[in-house]
Amino acid sequence: MGSFQSLPDNHQYRTLSQNTGFSLEQIGILHNRFKQLSQNEETLRRDDFKTIQDLESNPIRSQIIEAFFDKRNFQKDDVGSAQEIDFEEFLTVMSYFRAPTHHITEEQREEMRRAKLRFLFNMHDTDNDGTITLEEYRHVVEELLSRSGALGMETAKGIADAAMLEVASISVGPMAPDEFFEGITFEQFLKILKGVEIETTMHIRFLNMDTTVLCK
């Protein structure tokens, strides 16, 4: 109970480091940040994220916060949404944003890619049925354009539809008029995002260097 409150316990950190791949120093820094956000409590709640001012102007703020509480991202084969998360879970979610180290094998790179894309997929697939349906995709685009007023909302539907059609045509090919395309599965998701080099794009530089600027 009180172990997290006391001085950083190297043993705890070492296990965390092994699980998530962060260095001990990075874990220390993130722990400080965690304590700052949670106001020195042991767990983090959704409300704590509201204290971050810069996050308020982010259009996909709610989705990002949800991703932190999404049990699918904790790598424990659990589903559903948590009410509060502890430091280990916080760190696990952060570990999706690590950059590939210099010497990793091709398979490890592929695995990292899949993990990151899985994280993205989970962010879109809110009802956890394994596919991103048209409604869910529309929601994604609407959120992205949520700062653009009514004009954005109307076009959002069109954009989402166009995107969905594109995925359908690439992955399934010609379909008869009465066939139905369920939604984007994870494999298809991997395919359409092949062009975006996820493992290098989706990372925070902070985690590579040891200097920090802790801001409010």
Partner 1 sequence: MEMKMFIVVLGLLVGSLMPIGGAASSPDTRGEGNHSSYIKKPFPVLSFDYDHVRLPFEISLWVLLASLMKLGFHLIPRLSSIVPESCLLIVVGLLVGGLIKVVGEVPPTLQSNIFFLYLLPPIILDAGYFLPIRPFTENLGTILMFAVVGTLWNAFFVGSLLYGVCQLEGVDLKHVDLLSCLLFGTIISAVDPVAVLAVFEEIHINELLHILVFGESLLNDAVTVVLYHLFEEYSSVGTITVTDVFLGIVCFLVVSLGGIVVGAIYGILAAFTSRFTSHTRVIEPLFVFVYSYMAYLSAEVFHLSGIMALIACGAVTRPYVEANISHKSHTTIKYFLKMWSSVSDTLIFIFLGVSTVAGPHRWNWTFVIMTVLLSLVARVLGVIGLTFVINKFRIVKLTCKDQFIVAYGGLRGAIAFSLVYLLDPVQFPMRNMFLTAIITVIFFTVFVQGMTIRPLVDLLAVKKKQETKRSINEEIHTQFLDHLLTGIEDICGHYGHHHWKDKLNRFNKKYIKKCLIAGERSKEPQLIAFYHKMEMKQAIELVESGGGSKLPSAMPSTISMQNIQPKKTPQDRALPQLSKSREEEIRKILRTNLQRTRQRLRSYNRHTLVADPFEDGWSDVLIKRKKIIEMEKKISQMNNHLTVPAPPPDSPTVARARLSSDPQVWGTKAVTESIPTIKVDLASPQSPDPVNEFGSKASQPKESKEDGGLMMKAPCPAKEKKEKDKMAYEDDDDKEPQRLTRCLSDPGPAAEEDEDEPFLP
Show contacts with partner 1 in window 152-171 (CB under 8 A). Answer: 152, 154-155, 157-159, 161-170
Single out the residue of 149, 185, 186, 190 in contact with partner 1 (rule: CB under 8 A): 149
Rg (CA), the chain: 19
Restricting to residues 73-132, which ones interact with partner 1 according to CB under 8 A? 94, 97, 99-100, 102, 120, 123
- Burial code (b: 16+ CB inside 10 Å, e: under 16) for 164-187 equals beebbeeeeeeeeeeeebebbbbe
Query: Does position 27 bind partner 1 by CB under 8 A?
Result: no
Helical H segments across 4-133, by residue range = 10-20, 24-37, 46-49, 61-69, 87-95, 106-124
Identify residue 186 by its one-letter amino acid code.
F
Instruction: Identify the CA nearest to 81 among candidates 48, 118, 45.
Output: 45
Looking at 10, 81, 108, 148, which residue binds partner 1 (CB under 8 A)?
Answer: 148
Question: With CB under 8 A as the contact rule, which of the stretches 2-10, 12-20, 56-64, 76-84 interacts with partner 1?
Answer: 56-64
Least separation, in Å, of the C-beta of 83 and partner 1? 18
Please identify which residue in 16, 30, 91, 112 interacts with partner 1, judged by CB under 8 A.
30
Q: Which of 7, 54, 66 is nearest to 216 (CA)?
A: 54
Q: Output the smallest distance, CB 15 to partner 1, in A.
A: 22
The least distance separating partner 1 from the CB of residue 170, rounded to whole angstroms, comes to 7
